[in-house]
Structure 1
Amino acid sequence: MATFWAFAAILFSSLFALVLGNGSSLPIVDLGYENGEFYNFSNIRYGQAPVGNLRFRALLAPVTQSNIVNNGSVGVTCPQVVPPWQILAGMYLGSRLSNTSFDLAAAEAAVAAMPPQPLDPKTSEDCLFLDVFVPRAVFPKNSHGSGKGAPVLVWITGGGFIAGDKTAVGDQLYSPEGLIKASQTAPSKGLIFVSINYRLGAFGFLAGSEVEADGNANAGLHDQRLALEWVQNNIHLFGGDKGRVTVMGESGGGSSIMHQITAFGGKSPLPFTQAIMQSPAFISKASNWQNEVTFKTFLNHLNVSSLQEARNLPSENLINGNIAQISAGGFVDFSYGPTVDGTFTPGIPQRLLSSGAFKKNVNVMVAYNSWEGGLFQSPYVTNLSTLTDLIKVIIPRVSPGALSEITDGLYPPVFGGFRGYKTWGELQAQLTADAALVCGTTSISRAFGNQTYAYEFAIAPGIHGQDMAYTFATGPDPSIDYNVAKSLQQYITSFVDNGTPVAIGSPAFPKYGPDNKILKFGHTISQTTDPAANERCEWWNKALYY
């Protein structure tokens, strides 16, 4: 599969500068692919350097002028972490998929014996950059400034709010080549693709009373909003239409979009008109108490006693403290993520959606995978006690009544299979998927009057993130069904172009409607009724677990 880094190896056939309104000088790198060409503008700064006293704050756009031409040869990655439990979960998933026995003690020993994660040499706190990919036919010098601007697709990466990069999805590097190619159907000249970095972990989501008094919780969400405002202010210089911006994200990226739509309770203008949320992953666990615990734990790892002392530390100390804290978390514990701050996030998104406190003039496509929980299935859950322990990790302040409702009413240990699970592990996987990934999609569809376009990715095994290889496919690949990938890309790009998902030779994409209609992507694509439209999801979407 062609990747961003494969493109970087292509001989640059042209390089020249474009000066934007803020005075920053940007490169245009001419890259080719099979049936067309596009320009890649790499590592454009959209925000101030979040270092020193600017740490843990919402930032502004750059104010100084730079004449440096960046040819994209050196990328920038925000500090991030892959916690050990995710490695163990991957081992367990492998045994499940291969139907082999799993030696938990041996797996734990293997993970413990692994050397410390090497720090990506591109890692820097100063990471607020974005990339812009523009079809040659769209770029102003070739389009002669005629007609309306091209549609724009902005990608927000996932990664549980602790990992992710504008050039990657999980541990896979992907290029927008396939999406751009799919978008170039007459009379369209193609879409413009923008991908962004945003602060992660403690750098982007540190919260607590000290942060609220002298900083901003949810700094990472503020970063995303700043990048989207950059697109509004500058995309016309690339031939784009700021009035036709679609934002797309998977997992934490999909959840980010849910938070952007509900930002400020819907009282602030949105810098996009359409949204594609793939497996929007979120369950609010950060109460004020939990925020303080997480904040104090971070300071302890830094060996300091105040927020200002943390701001004064060298970057290396903060990066190592972030790694240490997140790595110490238990199974399915990401440590950081969006939290209710009273301003940007005035409430839990599901509650804001159900109460109408969100921006409603958005055209929405939303999706989930058929076995989302498979990637988060814990080998430790073997009985009610261990299941309860894991629920308390997901929801640290779960009330006794809610806990009883979850374990006795919604997910009783009845393993005949008719409830979708036959073992404790499968029960936990279903619970985790519903709580954090699947049910949020129905809350989104309900909030938007059932006028969304919803789909389920169900090619086996259907685990979380598996659909990314289809979303970003660039050509035939033995690991995917390329015909399905082409159809998915056509649905996505036609939605970006004109608001209606259409794929040649594939079924019509229904509105969700009162009958809960979705499109199911198996090796054949078909219309069906949403299996997530059930009583369990109704309960989770009411956020009754506090």
Structure 2
Amino acid sequence: MKKSVPIFALRVRSSILLWILYTATHATSVSVHIVNGTVQGVTDNDSGIEKFLGIPFAEPPVGDRRLRQAIALEQSFGTLEADEFGPSCISAKDQGPESEDCLTLNIWRPSSVAKANVSLPVLVWLYGGSLTSGYTADPRNEATAMTRISSEIGKPIIVVSVNYRVGPFGCLNGAEMTELGLLNLGMLDQRLALRWLQDNIEAFGGDPAKVTLAGQSAGAVSIYSHMMAYGGRDDGLFRGAILQSGGAFPLTAPNTTAFQSTFDSLITNTTCSPLANSSAADKLKCIRSLPLEEFEAKVGPSTGQSVDGGFTRTSIQRALPAGQYVKVATIVGSNTDEGTTSAPSGVNKTEELVDPVSRGFFRPQRLPNETVSALIDLYPDSPRLGCPYNTGDIPLTPGRLDKKACSIFGDIVQVGPARMIAQTLAQDGVPVYRYRFNHLGYNTSIVSRGITTGSELPYTFSNNVPEYAWDQNLAYQMTAAWASFAHDLDPNVGKAVPGLPHWPRYGKEANTIVFNGYGSSIQPDNDRSDGIQYIIDNVLTDGAM
């Protein structure tokens, strides 16, 4: 069982001596005053960046506040030592210290902000992790380099990352949660953080009218969920979006058999079992009193976003054609070999593909047999044409048709949704920029996964990039493009960063930039056009509310 640690206890456990030594040589303190108190961060003198880490933006969702909508922080924290990340929200993975008291955010800004008395655009990062894991302390997403590079190219921004609840703490469903209006809590955590920024980011030198949301995988899904929230209502919380490898999963009602079973497990498998026939309110009262260890040990596996009639009213593949979304400038992208994270392996016969394709990846219901058959026929058997792409006939996994399976699953889960979103936004006249990440890092250890989901993250933030000229240069270019988009809603950095071609909007030509350390290029977005269009027309919409 993973150990849960209170948020302030974590800070006490820090090595005070090491921190004093570091501060004396590399950092100095800096303070910002907001409604709840004084936030005391640190200045990284080597990079010229000020960091304010682990700032609570909500009342702790613990005790009677477990499984409730988070509320804005009411108490004063006096002077907050904001010099390290708060604990991660409890998740399905071991990702360091965790706690239910996890609703914090982090802010990076150029040191020059306070002196210049300016208001800078803001990029807000939402991590991925299938809505079951993820954390802001992930070293891939540390934003010092991004903030520094934004200043170096003359387009300074402030970067913010947000912790939000995941798994059964943030995405629990069931009839009882529906009755009490307690669905999609993790995404509502994000929404509350965005409102916190509207009230507080000016104190840090940020412009609340110039917020761009960025995220990968479930983070990207979260962002387009905010775009279509409340039927596409524009609350003025953001003006741009960056969607990295987001899916377009068919959403369902919150009381499906799997969702309900997960909720019921917290009653029938725990000391709450005498309340099996009680009211929804009584059941939740008991669940909130369960020891954390018992809750984690007994809860079922099926959690996720659902249609709640308020924040989430329909699936993205329904909302976009209906125009029910906030129309903001958007970057939408995917990686070349997405399917290696979602496809089955050991597939040797076409018949062995039928069942996994029918069940899909996070699908609420099986695809019809005729849809499955037609889709499989649109993808060639030849491994030379499969995923991971550009690897010839070399078998990288046991099955003869594994590359075909990877092609199909990658297109269903990420590539098809990215193309669908880009096409629809462009048709609606929304400025949209499409990319494909096509670079295999020099230190790649698992070649069989290729350029898979998440491969772009180190390059987006210029963190943990191989000490290799081509990798370092690509990272700088991509980080600069992301910062430029947050600053101007245009990813083109011009002469400030040589080597990148002009990145055109995605229009009738369907042009996309293909990022590669050995030379990026502009290409039409037409890979596997028949298969992906079939997915857009017949697969993504199947079963979606």
TM-score by length of 2: 0.82
Q: Paired residue for 1:86?
A: none
Structure 2 residue 67 is the aligned partner of structure 1 residue 56: yes
Q: Paired residue for 1:175?
A: 142
Q: Paired residue for 2:490?
A: 500
Pairwise mapping of residues 80-479 of structure 1 onto structure 2 (< 5 A)? 80-82=91-93, 120=96, 122-139=97-114, 142-143=115-116, 145=117, 148-168=118-138, 172-185=139-152, 187-188=154-155, 190-284=156-250, 286-287=252-253, 288-289=255-256, 290-297=258-265, 299-300=267-268, 302=270, 304=272, 305=276, 306-321=283-298, 325-326=300-301, 335-360=302-327, 362-379=328-345, 381-384=347-350, 386-391=352-357, 392=359, 394=361, 397-399=364-366, 401=368, 403-411=369-377, 414-417=380-383, 420=386, 423-450=400-427, 451-460=431-440, 461-474=450-463, 477-478=466-467
Q: Paired residue for 1:26?
A: 39
Maintained 8 Å contact 2:32/2:40: yes
Distance in 1 between the 2:104 and 2:269 partners?
Answer: 28
Maintained 8 Å contact 2:221/2:247: yes
Question: Which residue of 497, 520, 524 maps to 2:519?
Answer: 524
Which amino acid letter does the alignment assign opposite residue 439 of structure 2? I
C-alpha change, 1:240 and 1:400, in structure 2 (3 Å) is closer
Maintained 8 Å contact 1:182/1:490: yes
Distance in 1 between the 2:249 and 2:265 partners?
Answer: 21
Distance in 1 between the 2:40 and 2:377 partners?
Answer: 54
Which amino acid letter does the alignment assign opposite residue 179 of structure 2? A
**What are structure 2's unaligned runs of at least 5 residues?**
1-13, 277-282, 388-392, 394-399, 441-449
Distance in 1 between the 2:239 and 2:125 partners?
Answer: 14
Distance in 2 between the 1:521 and 1:452 partners?
Answer: 17
State the 1:76 CA deviation.
1.2
TM-score by length of 1: 0.81
Cα distance per residue 1:120-148 (max 9 Å; x no partner): 3x211010000111111013xx12x3xx5
Maintained 8 Å contact 1:283/1:435: no
Q: Paired residue for 2:23?
A: 11
Distance in 2 between the 1:53 and 1:430 partners?
Answer: 46
Which amino acid letter does the alignment assign opposite residue 494 of structure 1? S
State the 1:393 CA deviation.
5.6
State the 1:345 CA deviation.
0.7
Which amino acid letter does the alignment assign opposite residue 178 of structure 1? A
Maintained 8 Å contact 2:122/2:486: yes
Distance in 2 between the 1:390 and 1:321 partners?
Answer: 28
C-alpha change, 1:397 and 1:232, in structure 2 (3 Å) is closer
- The alignment partner of 2:419 has SS state of helix
Distance in 1 between the 2:510 and 2:30 partners?
Answer: 51
Structure 2 residue 448 is the aligned partner of structure 1 residue 482: no
Q: Paired residue for 2:443?
A: none
C-alpha change, 1:137 and 1:340, in structure 2 (3 Å) is same
- The alignment partner of 1:60 has SS state of coil
Q: How many residues align?
A: 482
Distance in 1 between the 2:78 and 2:519 partners?
Answer: 52
Which amino acid letter does the alignment assign opposite residue 351 of structure 1? R
State the 1:428 CA deviation.
2.3
Maintained 8 Å contact 2:59/2:71: yes
Aligned-pair RMSD on alpha carbons? 2.7
Structure 2 residue 76 is the aligned partner of structure 1 residue 79: no
Which amino acid letter does the alignment assign opposite residue 81 of structure 1? A
Maintained 8 Å contact 2:60/2:103: yes
Maintained 8 Å contact 1:284/1:339: no
